Amino acid sequence: MAAMPTVRSIFLSDIHLGTRACQAGRLLDFLRSYTAENVFLVGDIVDFWAMRRNIVWTADQNTFVQKILKRARHGERVVFIPGNHDEALRDYLGIAFGDIEVIGEYIHELADGRRFLLLHGDEFDQITRHHRWIAVLGDVMYDVLVRLNVLISLVRRRLGMTGYWSLAGYAKRRVKKALQFIFDFEDSAIRAARQRGLDGIICGHIHSAVIRDAEGVSYVNCGDWVDSCTAIVEHFDGRLELIAWDSRERALIEAEKTEQEEMACVS
């Protein structure tokens, strides 16, 4: 069996533990495939908003927590930057829980010397900052979409359709106002990094994974483990890579299937 690839850093955000939407199983598959020197949890790891209404805590979610704690105990640096859904943990900034550091934001220097601001990103969301009740209402409506998605996924499986498909993610990509919100968010994040004289910013919050350059400043969003199952990894040369795990997972399955078919032909 090939050794697990080691990267310098892993960046994860918007896992939303405690909800039925959390794709903890796919996240565990990803973590089993990568070791790292640093793991940065960039907010909304636990969804306290949703858990006030209903708690869904699966065995895979529990295993994820145990795996992160184990990594911290075994020498990987684990940094937790709370987001708006786990904002209760912002009362404990500067404290370590089981070797996991809890901080509000962090300046991370890549292996190539570039300096990036790490924070969740709700600071750039005017609705979350100034109209919390709208954000909470949106969260409730999102939960409705997730419940509908359960039925859609059942139908897709019975029709023999593979892969995970998100109704909420589809709606976000299609609604013009949602796209404009994403553009405004990205512009605000880039401006914040530029004002601090940094080379870029790594955040989450809007569930829209991307790596892009804007006039010399890099904007990096981790995405989520609800709709898209994405993460950012830093390689040992400082290069950042966006991992879309569902796509990678399908590619690995197809490659393995092809290899088995070739071996069967040889035998």
Query: How do residues 135-172 score in pLDDT, each as one tens digit?
Result: 444 555 566 556 666 565 666 567 666 555 565 655 55
* Rounded Cα–Cα distance for residues 52 and 133 (Å): 15
Which amino acid is residue 117, in one-letter code? L
Q: Give the per-residue pLDDT at 98.
A: 83
Q: Give the per-residue pLDDT at 148.
A: 63
Q: Give the per-residue pLDDT at 184.
A: 86
Determine, yes or no, domain membership for 266: no
Determine, yes or no, domain membership for 28: yes
Q: Give the per-residue pLDDT at 161.
A: 61
The model's confidence at residue 261, banded by pLDDT at 50, 70 and 90, is: very low
Determine, yes or no, domain membership for 97: yes
Q: Give the per-residue pLDDT at 251.
A: 53
The CATH number of the domain holding residue 190 is 3.60.21.10
Q: What's the chain's average pLDDT?
A: 82
* 172 DSSP assignment: H
Query: How do residues 199-228 score in pLDDT, each as one tens digit?
Result: 999 999 999 999 999 989 999 999 999 988
Determine, yes or no, domain membership for 143: yes
Determine, yes or no, domain membership for 267: no
Determine, yes or no, domain membership for 264: no
Q: Give the per-residue pLDDT at 60.
A: 97
Contacts of 165 (CB under 8 A, 6+ apart): 149, 152, 153, 156
Determine, yes or no, domain membership for 110: yes
Query: How do residues 223-249 score in pLDDT, each as one tens digit?
Result: 999 988 999 999 999 999 999 997 665
Q: State the DSSP string of 224-248.
A: -SSSS-EEEEE-TTS-EEEEEHHHH
247 dihedral zone (left: phi>0; alpha: psi -120 to 50; beta): alpha
Q: Give the per-residue pLDDT at 257.
A: 46
Range of the domain at 197: 6-259
Overall number of domains in the chain:
1
Of residues 135 and 39, which shows the higher confidence score?
39
Q: Give the per-residue pLDDT at 3.
A: 58
* Nearest CA among 41, 47, 49 for reference residue 103: 41
How would you classify the pairing of strands 200-203 and 217-221?
parallel
How large is the average pLDDT for residues 184-195?
94
The model's confidence at residue 9, banded by pLDDT at 50, 70 and 90, is: very high
* Nearest CA among 160, 157, 182, 161 for reference residue 172: 182
Determine, yes or no, domain membership for 84: yes
Query: How do residues 87-105 score in pLDDT, each as one tens digit?
Result: 999 999 999 988 999 999 9
How large is the average pLDDT for residues 76-95?
95
